[in-house]
A = this chain, B = another copy of it.
Amino acid sequence: MNISMDEAIVRRSLHDELVERLQRLIIEGELTPGEKVPEKELCERYNVSRTPMREALKVLASEGLVTLTPNRGSSVTAVTVEDLEEVFPVMGALEALSGELACEKITAAEIAAIGKFHHEMIGHYKAQRLPEYFAANEAIHTAILKAARNETLAAQHRMLSARVRRARYLANMTRERWDKAVAEHEEILAAIQVRDGRQLGAILKQHLRNKLETVSEWLRRDTQG
């Protein structure tokens, strides 16, 4: 009895749906860091009661995306330079691992797909289209992570990524740094194509270290300047 699940009705619990929506609101910046999460307002907006909303907020809090203060509700966690300096090394370790694992398990088709993203990205770079560049960039990193075939790894990475994605997106690179990032991406692609896991891991780690530089520099300027 092999029933195709393709058309199965996906019934999700409200809190689960809300976790996702709130995550999006935070990442896309509709809810900005430091801001109090307007519980009531969001409940009305999504037409749910406070119960599932509060469940969702608790989950987000455990992921570090919001901060709960006893008896005074939740606020979007503000990312400080210190946070970034904590998160990036951890993400670096995870990405390095993803590179190593990916090289063991990646298929030719997946390599080709990454190559395609890469060339798209280069195109956007040459045309100085930053948002499109970011999208292609993220596609590459996601593809590597997926090729690693480790859901735990992917989940951990997603979690940390969510915490800093907004800062990452907002910090716009200097021309110089952008050049460097692209150069690193050439190396990334090369390492994948020859399936050199050690090398890929190392580059990914370095790549992220440079990103940290960019982002924390921007954050420093933005928050105190």
Chain A residues in contact with chain B, CB under 8 A? 11-13, 15, 19, 51, 54-56, 58-59, 61-64, 68, 70-71, 83, 86-87, 89-90, 92-94, 96-97, 101, 150-153, 155-156, 160
Contacts and interface: CB of A to CB of B under 8 A. Distances in A.
Those 7 A-B pairs whose CB atoms lie nearest each other, nearest first: A93-B97, A86-B152, A93-B93, A59-B62, A55-B58, A86-B150, A90-B153
Interface SS of chain A: helix
B97 A152 contact: no
Contacts of A151: 86
B86 A97 contact: no
Of residues A86, A90, A97, which shows the largest number of chain B Cβ atoms within 10 Å of its Cβ?
A90
Nearest to A88: B152
Contacts of A64: 152, 155
A94 B89 CA distance: 10
B101 A94 contact: no
Given A54-B55, A70-B12, A152-B160, A90 B97 contact: yes
A90 B55 contact: no
A63 B64 CA distance: 12
A70 to B, nearest CB: 6
Nearest to A89: B97
Contacts of A15: 58
Given A86-B152, A150-B89, A70 B101 contact: no
